[in-house]
């Protein structure tokens, strides 16, 4: 019973952690901000039309139809933004809102003077919203639609397009196109800067590997998948044995080269599906999905040997290095996914004590626990041969 209670407690903790990771999802934060901005633009649009409707000199073809249209648009805003408020945000939802705004403005313009309506420039609100949030392609499509609506309204008003009227049409829409172009370009520059900032904030400057900040959500996701599907997940803690000595003897330039050499060897020896992170000054972490303990040890030994046999040159001096590696595997050796890195760190400490340039797995430190996990693994129908 205690075991079941503990498992339930860890499942709850895992869900809370995953919720925190989801809340920190940058894309969702951005889309939530866009949705909030478009909501404010929609209320502003509705307010402008309402003020015009209440104006004593307003020229409205069908006041009742315009009032119903405003009520429907207000209901749409309430339903789209404030019902199921916590649902995830998607770009297609933003696109739907801009198309509905075009429909609403078109009905308003048709009721307030057609092509001579004083509210015709409200289309600019849609174009600006689309340029910032949806990009160039959808913005162009919406400009084409607005142009088609304008031509339709003009034809219903009895306007026949000659060369003069066509030129006036182009002149009228030139500000729309300029606004769309400038806003799209500014949005593209902002997005480029944001992507650059995101890359810099999530990667280690020296090695280009993931840093600790960006590694944490990947660790939570990998452990969640491993526990959900009863798949093995191995973690390697890797520590450079002689970084301080190299720094003291040859300088920090040599130390940086040592770190780069280890990072390059990690990329060469591990799979593309493995997750590699520079965890600290001379410490690296590698997550190995769907790799049981035995194969993780083989991989770690291959990595250790490759680094031991690699050297680099600093001012004519050949410098070598070695690494100590600690391994833990869930569920082979570790019951609780959240403790995976903690146990790998314990084994790394033991490999340092054992003389360095050594690979040690958590099973060697806790053979009884490992045997118990292997029995549980068989109950789940998992075999090491399934992953070979």
Instruction: Name 238's bridge partners.
Output: 284, 325
- What whole-number distance in Å separates Cα of residue 372 and Cα of residue 388? 22
Please state which of the ranges 96-105, 111-120, 159-168, 307-316 shows the lowest mean pLDDT: 159-168
pLDDT of 277 reads 93
Smallest CA-to-CA distance from 126 within 234, 45, 225 is with 45
Instruction: Name 329's bridge partners.
Output: 234
pLDDT of 22 reads 43
* H-state helical runs in the chain: 2-23, 26-54, 63-82, 91-111, 123-133, 136-156, 163-202, 212-228, 243-250, 252-269, 293-308, 340-353, 362-365, 367-379
Query: pLDDT tens digits for 215-252?
Result: 888 888 888 888 888 889 999 999 999 999 999 998 98
Domain definitions of the chain by residue range: 2-202, 212-387
Nearest-10 Cα torsion for 254, 259, 260, 264? 140
Longest CA–CA separation in the chain, Å:
93
pLDDT of 372 reads 46
pLDDT of 174 reads 78
Q: 218-233 burial, b if ≥16 CB within 10 A, otherwise e?
A: ebbebbbebbeeebbb
Write the CATH number of the domain with boundaries 212-387. Answer: 3.30.70.270
Query: pLDDT tens digits for 26-72?
Result: 677 777 888 888 889 999 999 999 999 998 888 888 999 999 999 99
CA–chain centroid gap for 285, Å, is 21
Cβ 14 vs Cβ 41: under 8 Å: no
Check pLDDT > 80 for residue 187. no
Q: Residue 163: which pLDDT band, with cuts at 50, 70 and 90?
A: low
pTM over 0.85: no
Count of CB atoms within 10 A of residue 279's CB?
21
């Amino acid at each position: 019973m205690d075991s079941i209670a503990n498992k339930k407690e860890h499942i709850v903790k895992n869900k809370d952690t995953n919720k925190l990771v989801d809340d920190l999802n940058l894309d969702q934060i951005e889309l939530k901000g866009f949705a909030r901005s478009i909501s404010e633009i929609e209320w502003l649009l509705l307010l402008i039309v309402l003020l015009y409707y209440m104006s004593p000199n307003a020229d409205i073809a069908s006041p009742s139809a315009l009032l119903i249209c405003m009520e429907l648009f207000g209901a749409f805003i309430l339903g789209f933004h404030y019902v199921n408020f916590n649902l995830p945000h998607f770009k297609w939802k933003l696109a739907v809102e801009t198309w509905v705004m075009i429909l609403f403005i078109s009905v308003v313009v048709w009721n307030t003077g057609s092509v001579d309506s004083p509210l015709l420039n409200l289309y600019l609100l849609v174009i600006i919203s689309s340029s910032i949030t949806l990009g160039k392609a959808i913005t162009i499509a919406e400009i084409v639609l607005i142009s088609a609506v304008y031509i339709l309204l003009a034809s219903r008003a009895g306007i026949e397009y000659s060369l003069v009227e066509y030129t006036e049409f182009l002149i009228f829409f030139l500000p729309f196109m300029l606004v769309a172009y400038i806003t799209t370009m500014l949005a593209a520059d902002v997005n480029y800067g944001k992507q650059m900032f995101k890359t810099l904030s999530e990667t280690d400057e020296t090695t280009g590997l993931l840093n600790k900040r960006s590694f944490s959500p990947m660790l939570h996701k990998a452990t969640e998948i491993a526990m959900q599907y009863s798949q093995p997940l191995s973690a390697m803690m890797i520590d450079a044995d002689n970084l301080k000595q190299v720094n003291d003897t040859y300088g920090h330039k040599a130390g940086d080269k040592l770190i780069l050499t280890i990072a390059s060897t990690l990329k060469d020896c591990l799979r593309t599906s493995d997750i590699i992170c520079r965890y600290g000054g001379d410490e690296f972490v590698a997550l190995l999905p769907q790799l049981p303990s035995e194969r993780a040890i083989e991989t770690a030994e291959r990595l250790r040997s490759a680094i031991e046999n690699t050297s680099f040159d600093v001012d004519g001096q050949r410098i070598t290095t070695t690494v100590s590696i600690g391994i833990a595997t869930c569920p082979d050796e570790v019951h609780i996914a959240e403790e995976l890195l903690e146990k790998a760190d314990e084994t790394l400490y033991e490999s340092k004590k054992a003389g360095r340039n050594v690979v040690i797995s958590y099973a060697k430190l806790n053979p009884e626990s490992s045997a118990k996990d292997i029995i549980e693994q068989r109950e789940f129908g998992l075999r090491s041969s399934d992953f070979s």
